[in-house]
């Protein structure tokens, strides 16, 4: 089977998955300790470098159809995490099969522990491609393809857990500074893969797809916001509000880099030419790479020279500087 035909099959599989998500009520949503099924239909997709992000609609029992943003953390998505030699592609059939076999053999649990240790102690953050040919971390060459897929799963899982934790920690800011988190979405493996075996349920942790269902904020990203019709005072006001919002988030213990790509300017007017200074509201999005203040101790200790680690150094000044 050629690479092109394999890629075609993958595309067909992805289309089938999307149809399943649209038509069948299969997505499990977790509101605290309450689990329920909900029908989600796709309206549009957003360009993203990391995760599959979609503009969706879903049925709200009390208010009919509601719009939202569904962000899926799927290792199959051809984003930056999957880059090999500067190019990101969806996995071929052989790669998917290698990963599935790797999981079914019970190797994934041990490998996840190894990945957790490697990512924790490595001087420079590893990437999934480091495991593709086992050039840096050893191992059987035959497992290279499976380990690359496993590493992409691990990175997606880490990003999902980081973003979910950030939204929970910033609950008081939801709806005003950041989008509301409606639900944690989980798509089981037997929905994604129609060839799933009965005993795959024990491995669903590594085979399902997690996601977040978020509030839809209509409007452009801040980097696309300035237009000839926008007054300079309006632009300055929006930028200042965005900076203030990020500072407020940082004070809440979630540390972000300032980026215009992570700011959506919500437009409360229908006519973009009549935007007033008080109208645009900046919302901060994308917390998948956030750092938590509580973790700075570990980060700062990791960056200390060995000679400093042997001494009892007070890290408080360094933590204040890093924060």
Among 71-85, 237-251, 288-302, where is mean pLDDT lowest? 288-302
pTM: 0.78
For residue 278, what pLDDT is reported? Answer: 55
Quickly list H helices, the chain: 3-23, 93-104, 108-121, 144-169, 189-192, 204-207, 232-251, 296-303, 306-309, 316-322
pLDDT at 297: 67
CB atoms inside a 10 Å sphere around CB 221: 14
Could you report the per-residue pLDDT of 251-308, keeping only the tens digit for each? 999 998 767 678 999 877 644 444 444 567 899 999 999 999 888 766 655 555 544 4
Q: Rounded mean pLDDT of the chain? A: 78
Span 111-163, pLDDT tens digits = 999 999 988 888 888 888 888 765 556 555 567 889 999 999 999 999 999 99
pLDDT tens digits along 193-202: 767 787 888 8
120/205: higher pLDDT: 205
Counting DSSP H helices and E strands in the chain, the numbers are: 10, 13
């Amino acid at each position: 089977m050629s690479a092109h035909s394999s890629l075609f099959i993958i595309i067909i599989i992805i289309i089938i998955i999307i149809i399943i998500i649209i038509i069948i009520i299969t997505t499990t949503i977790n509101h605290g300790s309450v689990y329920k099924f909900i029908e989600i239909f796709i309206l549009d997709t957003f360009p993203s470098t990391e995760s599959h992000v979609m503009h969706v609609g879903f049925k709200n029992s009390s208010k009919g159809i509601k719009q939202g943003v569904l962000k899926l953390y799927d290792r199959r998505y051809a984003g930056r995490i999957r880059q090999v030699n500067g190019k990101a592609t969806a996995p071929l059939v052989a790669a998917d099969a290698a990963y599935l076999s790797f999981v079914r053999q019970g190797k994934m649990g041990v490998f996840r522990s190894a990945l957790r240790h490697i990512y924790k102690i490595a001087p420079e953050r590893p990437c999934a491609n480091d495991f593709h040919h086992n050039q840096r971390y050893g191992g059987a060459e035959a497992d290279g393809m499976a380990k690359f897929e496993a590493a992409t799963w691990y990175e997606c899982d880490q990003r999902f857990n980081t973003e979910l934790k950030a939204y929970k920690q910033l609950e008081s800011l939801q709806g005003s500074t950041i989008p509301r988190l409606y639900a944690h979405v989980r798509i089981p493996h037997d929905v994604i893969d129609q060839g799933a075996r009965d005993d795959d349920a024990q491995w669903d942790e590594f085979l399902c797809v997690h996601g977040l269902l978020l509030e839809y904020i209509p409007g452009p990203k801040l980097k696309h916001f300035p237009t000839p019709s926008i007054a300079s005072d309006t632009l300055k006001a929006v930028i200042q509000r965005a900076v203030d919002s990020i500072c407020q988030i940082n004070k809440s213990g979630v540390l972000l880099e300032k980026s215009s790509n992570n700011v959506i300017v919500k437009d409360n007017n229908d006519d973009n030419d009549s935007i007033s200074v008080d109208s645009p509201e900046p919302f901060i999005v994308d917390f998948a790479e956030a750092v938590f203040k509580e973790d700075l101790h570990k980060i700062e200790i990791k960056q200390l020279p060995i000679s400093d680690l042997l001494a009892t150094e007070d890290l408080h000044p360094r933590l204040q500087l890093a924060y």
